Amino acid sequence: MPKITNNTRIRQYITEFEEKVFSSDGTILFCKFCETKINTDRRYLVTQHLKTEKHKSAEKRKQDQMKNKSQQLVGTAMTSKKSSFNHDLCNTLLSANIPLNKLNNPKFREFLLKYTGKDIPFESTLRKGYVDDVYNQTLNKIRMYVDGKKIWVSIDETTDVTGRFVANVIIGTLEEHGPGQIFLLNVEELEKANHSTIFKLFDKSMNILWPDGVKHDDVLLFLSDAAPYMFNKNIVLKNDTTCLAHGLHRVAETVRILNPKVDKIIANVKKIFNKAPSRVQIFKDIAPLLPLPPEPVLTRWGTWIQAALYYCEHFETVKSIVNSFKKDDAISIETAQKYIEQQHIQTQLVFIKSNFSFLPNAITCLEKQEMSLASSISIVEDAKIKLTQINGAQGTAVKTKIETVLGKNEGYKLMVKISNILSGDQENFEGLPEDLKLNDLVYFKYAPITSVDVERSFSIYKNMLTNNRRAFKFDNIRKCLIVQSNFTGEEEENEIEHQSNSLI
């Protein structure tokens, strides 16, 4: 009896339960109503899914949507309840991160009415009738632009001010002759951050992008931070690469750990001037041209190194100001005075500046968009050479760290080989994945090697979730954030429209 393959089994399910329920790309079975992947190992798993309340509710919701669309199509355009002005107004407010409830402000309404001559809708009208339209229109533009193109995907997660685990999915097109477009595709709240939730998010996001079937061959690169749960056998792509800006930041963190006394000074001097206007005034009186001591954030790449450079350049001035305060006034003053008088502090600062001053600039360069792969790799390799040439015990520790960071990053090794092929410096394809087609290599010319764009999307998210918007429902946050993040200028908008229309 011939063995039934997974592909054959999936086709049987689609035929049995109708194409309007399931779709497939030949590898997985996807439920169109629930927007999720179905386990096809046993038939009862499929039938069990069809009986769940989630599926029944999703099916009813889809049927209601189709019914509403049919009702809207009845009659002429003159009888339509949708207003193009309301649609454009909603799109404008979401793109500019202006809360819709501002429309309830009498002065704002009066201004709009005076200069537009239109009936100004209330917040509830836009929220209920137009936000979904604007969101779906944004997704459709992304789908149309990406259609037929090779892409890279980047996923990262953060914890917002309310304690939620939030993950963002960024995609970008890989173009043959120049940098591609970058889009925020999906925003999800996770129960917890692990390889299972990340895999499900990746799978769901790809089905959002390609609702008629995921085009696995068009995903050439997956970028993430160095979190262990980001790399799992479930996410199998041609190239999984760890962010190289994260990698250099981890080296900077090693420098901080190797210099605990300098770290104590940086941390406590920062505290001395926090919420202390009288001390700030004393600092400005003594050193009017000198900026206040920097406040490094450990999660911001390279800021600790920049702080160490500041203390090396202005050590005597900062020392005299810190010693002018009474140590009994605050624990931070006492601690800072204790360590600033320690032996070897000045020599440690000189060592840091002479050997690691290039790191913040290297990280900043890697954060730039539209860089070629060769330029990005050149920055990393140049940093590697400088770090491996440092002498002494700290030099050995730092050398070990950078070699470990790059040695474990199999994706980076592959990107170096691809870059060498594109530059003509490698004459064979040894070490490349078997499923990476020959023509796929040309799309890596402007491939990114950092996940910086996800970090940028988190900044937009945090700016949106202000103190007076904590009651914002997450589903609405997702829609507003995607519309805002994918807003483009008029010229870029026209270019995307032109390229999209050429694909229709």
Q: What is the mean pLDDT of residues 247-256?
A: 92
Chain centroid offset of residue 466 CA:
20
**Residue with the larger pLDDT of the pair 235 and 171:** 171
pLDDT reading at 375 higher than 90 = yes
- pLDDT attached to residue 186: 94
pLDDT in tens, 417-439: 999 898 888 777 777 877 788 88
**Residue with the larger pLDDT of the pair 501 and 421:** 421
pLDDT reading at 416 higher than 70 = yes
What's the whole-number average pLDDT of the chain?
Answer: 84
**Residue with the larger pLDDT of the pair 429 and 416:** 416
Going by their DSSP bridges, the two strands 240-242 and 22-24 should be labelled as unpaired
> Which backbone phi and psi does 220 adopt, to 5 degrees?
-100, -15
Beta bridge mates, 170: 154, 184
pLDDT in tens, 151-210: 999 998 888 888 888 999 999 999 988 899 999 999 999 888 777 888 889 999 999 999
Q: What are the structural domain ranges in the chain?
A: 6-65, 84-139, 148-239+433-486, 246-423
- pLDDT attached to residue 346: 92
> Distance between CA atoms of 210 and 214, rounded to whole angstroms?
5
- pLDDT attached to residue 357: 93
DSSP 3-state assignment of 292?
coil
- What single string gives the DSSP state of each residue in 27-69? S-EEETTTTEEE--SSHHHHHHHHTSHHHHHHHHHHHHHHHHH
Instruction: State what percent of residues in the chain have pLDDT above 90.
Output: 46
Strand spans (E) along 336-435 = none
> Distance between CA atoms of 201 and 235, rounded to whole angstroms?
11
Tokens read off for 470: 């904590």
Q: How confident is residue 229, by pLDDT bands cut at 50, 70 and 90?
A: low
- pLDDT attached to residue 462: 87
- pLDDT attached to residue 234: 46
* C-beta of residue 248 within 8 angstroms of C-beta of residue 384: no
- pLDDT attached to residue 170: 94
Q: How confident is residue 76, by pLDDT bands cut at 50, 70 and 90?
A: very low
> Distance between CA atoms of 185 and 169, rounded to whole angstroms?
6
User: How many other β-carbons are positioned within 10 Å of the β-carbon of residue 200?
Assistant: 15
pLDDT in tens, 461-496: 888 888 777 778 888 889 999 999 997 654 445 554
Determine the residue type at 71. Q
Longest dimension (CA), the chain: 91
Nearest in space to 341 (alpha carbons), one of 333, 351, 331, 352: 333
Quick one: the chain helix, strand, coil %, rounded to 5? 60, 10, 30
Tracing tokens 């700030």 back to the chain, one arrives at 280
Computed on alpha carbons and rounded to an integer, the radius of gyration of the chain in Å comes to 28
Q: What is the mean pLDDT of residues 22-37?
A: 78
Determine the residue type at 13. Y
- pLDDT attached to residue 237: 53
pLDDT reading at 92 higher than 50 = yes
